[in-house]
Chains A and B, each alone.
Chain A
Amino acid sequence: MKYTEEHEWLRPEGDLVVVGITSHASTQLGDVVYVELPEVGTVVTQGDEIVVIESVKAASDITAPLDGEIVEINEAIADEPGKVNEDPTGDGWFFKIRPTDMSQLDAFMDEDAYEAMTG
Chain B
Amino acid sequence: MADAALRRTPLHDLHAGLGARMGGFAGYDLPLSYPAGVMAEHLHTRAAAGLFDVSHMGQVILRGERAAEALEALVPVDVLGLAEGRQRYALFTNEAGGIEDDLMVANRGDHLLLVVNAARKEADLELLRAGLPESVTVEPLDRALLALQGPGSEAALAALAPGVAGMRFMDVATVTLEGTEAWVSRSGYTGEDGFEISISEKAAVRVAEALLAQEGVAPAGLGARDSLRLEAGLCLHGHDIDAATTPAEAGLGWAIQKVRRTGGDRAGGFPGANRILRELAEGSERRRVGIRPEGRAPMREGVELYDSADALAPVGRITSGGFGPSVGAPVAMGLVPAALSEPGTRLHAELRGRRLPVTVAALPFIPSNFKR
Interface residues of A (CB under 8 A from B): 30-31, 33-34, 36, 52, 54, 56-57, 59, 78, 81
- Asked if B298 and A31 make an inter-chain contact with CB atoms under 8 angstroms apart, the answer reads no
Known: A30-B38, A56-B42. 18 other contacts (CB 8 A): A30-B33, A30-B223, A31-B37, A31-B40, A31-B325, A33-B330, A34-B330, A52-B297, A54-B297, A54-B298, A54-B323, A56-B38, A56-B223, A56-B227, A56-B325, A57-B33, A57-B38, A59-B298
In the bound complex, how far is the Cα of B33 from the Cα of A91, in angstroms? Answer: 26
Complex: how many Å from CA A78 to CA B33? 25
Task: Indicate if the CB atoms of A56 and B323 lie closer than 8 Å.
Answer: yes
The reply to whether B33 and A33 contact each other, CB–CB distance below 8 Å, is: no
Q: Closest B-chain residue to A52, C-beta based?
A: B352
Q: Given A30-B38, A31-B39, A57–B296 Cβ distance below 8 Å?
A: no
Knowing A30-B33, A30-B223, A33-B323, the reply to whether A56 touches B39 (Cβ < 8 A) is yes
Q: How many A-B residue pairs have CB under 8 A?
A: 43
B38 touches A31 (CB 8 A): yes
Question: Are B323 and A34 within 8 A (Cβ)?
Answer: yes
B32 in contact (CB, < 8 A): yes
**C-alpha spacing A52/B40, complex, angstroms:** 23
A77 to B298, CA, bound (A): 15
A54 to B293, CA, bound (A): 14
Task: State in angstroms the CA–CA spacing of A33 and B329 once bound together.
Answer: 9
B: number of interface residues (CB 8 Å): 18
Output the least CB separation between B18 and chain A (Å).
16
Binding site for A on B (CB under 8 A): 32-33, 37-40, 42, 223, 227, 296-298, 300, 322-323, 325, 330, 352
Question: B38 touching A34 by the CB < 8 A rule?
Answer: no
**A contact residues around B39 at 8 Å (CB):** 30-31, 33, 56
Docked Cα-Cα span, A59 to B299, in Å, equals: 10
Residues of A within 8 A of B296 (CB): 33-34, 78, 81
Write the chain B residue with the least CB distance to A35.
Answer: B296
A81 to B323, CA, bound (A): 12
Q: A36: nearest residue on chain B (CB-CB)? A: B297
Minimum Cβ distance to chain A for residue B194 (Å) = 21
**Nearest CB in chain B: distance from A69 CB, A:** 22
* A78 to B298 Cα, complex, angstroms: 13
Interface centre among A31, A52, A81 (most CB of B within 10 A): A31
Q: Which residues of A contact B40 (CB under 8 A)?
A: 31
Chain B, Cβ-Cβ closest to A31:
B39
